[in-house]
Amino acid sequence: MIKIVIDTKGGDKGASVVIKGASLALEKYENLSVMLVGDSELISAECASLGMPMDRVEILDAPLEITNYDSPADAIFNKTESSMLKGLKTLSEREDLFGFVTSGNTGVLLTGAMRYLSGKERVRPALAAVLPAENGGFTCLVDTGATIDCTPAMLHHFARLGSEFMRNTYAIESPKVGLLSNGAESSKGNKLVKETYPILAADESLNFVGNIEGNTALSGACDVLVCDGFAGNQVMKVTEGTATRIITDVMKYAHRTGSQEIMKLGMHLMSIYDIGSLGGGNILGVAKPVIKARGNAGEKAIVSIAGMFINMAENKAIFDKDKNKI
C-alpha cells in the first residue's frame, strides 16, 4: 500500500475538489491510501458524502492555510500549523508516508521542502515539469518557477538534478541536456546563459548538447532543458496557451463544419495537451517525492498525481534514501 499526503488547502478550487480528486484516485488505484490535511470537520463531512473507504483514509487537522500572499520567511516560522507545512513535517517524520502534493504557494513549498526534507548538504530544490515532446518522448523542463533569479552554479545543479530524474524515471541512460537560449550558437544568450554554457560543457557527467531555442524546446532535441525559473515558467505557460488556442480553433471548426474526423483530431490534441490534468511539477533535490500541483488543479489532476506517485514507488531507483535526493 502506497500512502501519500494531500494538502486540501491552498488551491483555487477549494478543498472539496481536492477531496473529490482523492476519492477518485482511491477508486482507480487499489494500492493507494491517503492522508488528507486541512480542516478535519470539513474533510470528514466530504469523505462521508463521497462514501470514501475510511480504512484507506487518514485525516490530519491543520487549522491554518498558506495563501499566495504569504512570504516563505514569515510562513516557515509563523504558520507551522498550516496544512502545507504540517503535512511536510509529518511526511519527514513517518516512514509509512511516501510523498506529498499541494496546490499552494510555490515559494513556501520550496522553503518547507528544504527545511524538512533536505539532506546535510542543504542544496536548493528545483521545480521541474515533464512535458510531451514531438518525438513521442518527454522533456524535463527545469526550473519552472521556483527560482527566478539564478546563478550559473544553480543552472548547473538543475542540469544534474534533471538528468538524474530522467535517467531514473524514463530509463534514459544518458539524458541529453540543453540550455535554453535565443540562439543555437554558443555565443548566443544573455549573461547567465553565456556564463553557464562552458560550465555545462565541461561537466563530463552530463550529456550536454548545447543551446536549445524556444521553437525546438519540445522537439525532443533534449531530454532535459535547463533555464532560470522566469524563463521556464514562461515556456510552460506560453506552450499551454498556444496549445489551448489551437485546440479551441480546431473544435470550433469541427462544430461549424460538422466534421467528425476533425472533431476526433481535436479530442486527440486535448488528450495530449490537457496540461491541467497532466499532474504537477516535481520538486527535485529532496528526500521524498513532493509534487506541486497547479493552483487551479481539478479532480483529474489529483488522480494523475496519485498515478505519478505510484509509478515513482514502483520504480525504486527514483527514491534513494542513501543519496537523500530524487
Question: Do residues 140 and 224 make contact, with C-beta atoms less than 8 angstroms apart?
Answer: yes
pTM: 0.84
Supply the angle between the helices 260-273 and 229-257 in degrees, to the nearest 10.
160
Intervals of CATH 3.40.718.10 along the chain:
1-125+285-326, 126-282
Residue showing cell 534533471: 162
Beta-strand ranges (E) seen in 55-183 are 57-61, 99-102, 126-132, 138-142, 176-180
DSSP 43-88: HHHHHHHHT--GGGEEEEE--B---TT--HHHHHHH-TTBHHHHHH
Q: pLDDT digit of tens for each residue in the chain (326 aa)?
A: 999 999 999 988 999 999 999 999 999 999 999 999 999 999 999 999 999 999 999 999 999 999 989 999 899 999 999 999 999 999 999 999 999 999 999 889 999 998 999 866 656 788 998 888 888 888 999 999 888 899 999 999 999 999 998 988 788 999 999 999 999 998 999 999 999 999 999 999 999 999 999 999 889 999 999 999 999 989 988 888 888 889 899 999 999 999 999 999 988 887 777 655 556 788 998 889 999 998 888 898 899 899 889 888 876 544 444 443 44
CATH T-level fold of 1-125+285-326: Isopropylmalate Dehydrogenase (3.40.718)
CATH T-level fold of 126-282: Isopropylmalate Dehydrogenase (3.40.718)
Predicted local confidence at residue 132, as pLDDT: 81
